[in-house]
Amino acid sequence: MNFKYHVKIYRIIRLISCYLLLYDLLSQYLLSLMSYYKGGIFHL
């Protein structure tokens, strides 16, 4: 059984899931910022 191969796949999957989580948080943050700007709370 090739153990190192499974560890490599696991690390890649974990890295991808971490990036997806970060992307999801960032997109939610950007959407909330845009809704704030459209709501006219920030008048620059």
Burial class (CB within 10 angstroms; exposed 0-12, middle 13-18, buried 19+) of 29: exposed
C-alpha 26/C-alpha 18 separation (Å) is 12
pLDDT at 39: 73
Q: What is the pLDDT of residue 15?
A: 96
What's the pLDDT at 22? Answer: 96
Please give the pLDDT value at position 10: 93
pTM above 0.75, yes or no: no
Report yes or no: 42 and 36 within 8 Å, Cβ to Cβ. Answer: yes
pLDDT tens for each residue of 4-44: 888 999 999 999 999 999 999 999 999 998 888 777 665 55
